[in-house]
Amino acid sequence: MNLAEEALRNDSNAPAFVTSKGTVARADLRRMVIGIAGDLGKLGLGQGDRVLLRMTNSVEFAAAFLGTVWAGMLPVLQNSQFGRTELDHVVALSRPAAVLYGARPENDEPTVQITPDAARGIVTPEGIRVLRGKVVGGASNTPSSPVSAHADDVAFVVFTSGTTGKSKGVVHAHRWLTALGDSNRARVPPQPDDVVLATGEWSFISALGHNVLFPLRNGVAGSIMEDRASPERILATIERDKVTLLHSVATLYRRILATPAIEHQYDLSSLRGANSTGETLEPSVREEWRKRIGCPIWEHYGVSEAQMVLGDGPQAPQRHGSVGKSWGAQAEILDADLKPLPPGTVGTLAFNASYPGFFLEYLCDPERTRATLRNGWFITSDLARRDVDGYVYILGRSDDCFKSKGILIVPSELESAILALGMFEEACVFAVPDREIGNKIGVAVVPRPGTAAASLERSALVRALAGSIAPFKIPHLVASMEMLPKNANGKTQRTEVARRVLNRGAS
């Protein structure tokens, strides 16, 4: 099986994508894919060659990804905002034979500097416009059929956002689309008129699946928001394309709700459901969204080494505090010896590694691969517990949790309590090393518009939290920020928050 063939099996005139310029039919997309596959061959590239995609969301991005896979080459995805240092790392690991750009300046300095010998091209609706590289073939090289592949063969490489260090190259097989496609289809069954929008760049595997590959495989349309996500741009795209299913992150849902009456400025009546991933979604946000926007937010948990592996949804009712239950990849909570723990016990979250949606390896990093895939388990870095019905409760990354006065502090728990007050758009809890108690508890908050300055004082926050959390979880330091620093995929950088707050002092 070839992943591109699986995604493009339906080549009707039904819409594949809805854009600001109109719809693109599935048949037209398939022709673009085949044309790009032929153009890559004309550049002298062969099966197994790696092709770096430096593109933002567009029909051309989708066609370039699928065309590369169709031709038996390996697309390498990295965030288009990565700069010179990050790209040095990506290129050193992936060693691409070619770089493909979208509608962007031709002198992209970082890639020009670090891959001087790679073939280059700009992807257009007509095919690849060659910037550098010798054309060696003619029209006869255009492949009408995809290169045959085994389910376990390498299909593409995606680079992580580098939350905990340098980005990892995650190598996925062709089987990924079938495994994750089935799981996602079971969790939120598609409807014939669905239009699906994900707000992240498609270099992020969650957005690639939800916005591009799963809709194509399911025979529904994907909506393309061509520019970077903002509350106004997201809602305008929903109105424009009559989006029915939205995929975003908790931060953006909070930002949307932080704007008073924003729901009255756009027609959002087409939405039947929204999905949140990437970080904890507080119950207060879910409830406010349902009341103001008129549809539920379902939550799911994913990893770059697969994609969605836990979640709630129409088939799995929400349970307070839980991210949902397993879909495809069976979850377990393990002790230090990798033995399953009984329900209700806190341990390390892991998944049965036999699930075909999991990655093959980390690119050029066998040691990390062995550390992550052990004894038949995919081992995460998250602490969690599971109830008797299989619902999983994420406490947070093991390296985010810390002890204060000998008691384990779970940042997500305190952040949820703070956000439930309704005064803050974001909150980030972090450890402040202290000789006497081990760590003090610090928190940075982003106030909603109109929040009184007095509410940002520590004393006011202490009073507001009284009764909702235990006294030993009350923060010792409180700082207000205009925005929290994020990485390329929009996740809050907890260590950078702590650094900035401690450098300037806090209340």
- Hey, where are the domains in the chain? 3-173, 175-397, 402-504
Asked if residue 443 lies in contact with residue 418, where contact means CB atoms within 8 angstroms, the answer is: yes
pLDDT value for 140? 47
SS3 breakdown of the chain: % helix, strand, coil, rounded to 5? 30, 30, 40
pLDDT value for 144? 78
Number of other residues whose CB lies within 10 A of the CB of residue 421: 17
DSSP class of residue 213? Answer: I
DSSP class of residue 313? Answer: B
Asked if residue 202 lies in contact with residue 228, where contact means CB atoms within 8 angstroms, the answer is: no
The stretches in the chain having pLDDT less than 70 are 104-106, 137-142, 162-165, 488-489, 505-507
What are the start-end ranges of the E strands in 183-316?
A: 195-198, 221-223, 245-249, 273-277, 297-302, 308-311
Percent of the chain with pLDDT over 90: 68
- Amino acid identity of 62? A
Q: Which residues of 245-279 are buried (b: 16+ CB within 10 A; e: fewer)?
A: bbbbbbbbbbbbbbeeebbeebebebbbbbbbbbb
Write down the residue that tokens 């669905």 correspond to.
Answer: 194
Write down the residue that tokens 């079971």 correspond to.
Answer: 186
How are beta strands 361-362 and 347-352 bridged, if at all? unpaired
Asked if residue 101 lies in contact with residue 113, where contact means CB atoms within 8 angstroms, the answer is: no
pLDDT value for 489? 66
Number of other residues whose CB lies within 10 A of the CB of residue 296: 19
Which strand ranges, in their side-by-side order, compose the sheet holding 154-159? 127-132, 119-124, 98-101, 50-54, 74-77, 154-159, 169-173, 361-362
Rounded CA separation 41/31 (Å): 16
pLDDT value for 309? 97
CATH superfamily of 402-504: ANL, C-terminal domain (3.30.300.30)
Rounded CA separation 311/330 (Å): 12
Fold of the domain spanning 175-397: Rossmann fold (3.40.50)
Q: Which residues contact 204 (CB under 8 A, 6 or more apart)?
A: 79, 158, 161, 489
Where helices occur in 225-375 by DSSP H, the ranges are 231-241, 250-257, 283-293, 366-372
Domains 3-173 and 175-397 share a fold: yes
Asked if residue 307 lies in contact with residue 327, where contact means CB atoms within 8 angstroms, the answer is: no
Sign of the CA dihedral running 121, 122, 124, 130: negative
Classify domain 3-173 by CATH architecture.
3-Layer(aba) Sandwich (3.40)
Number of other residues whose CB lies within 10 A of the CB of residue 378: 22
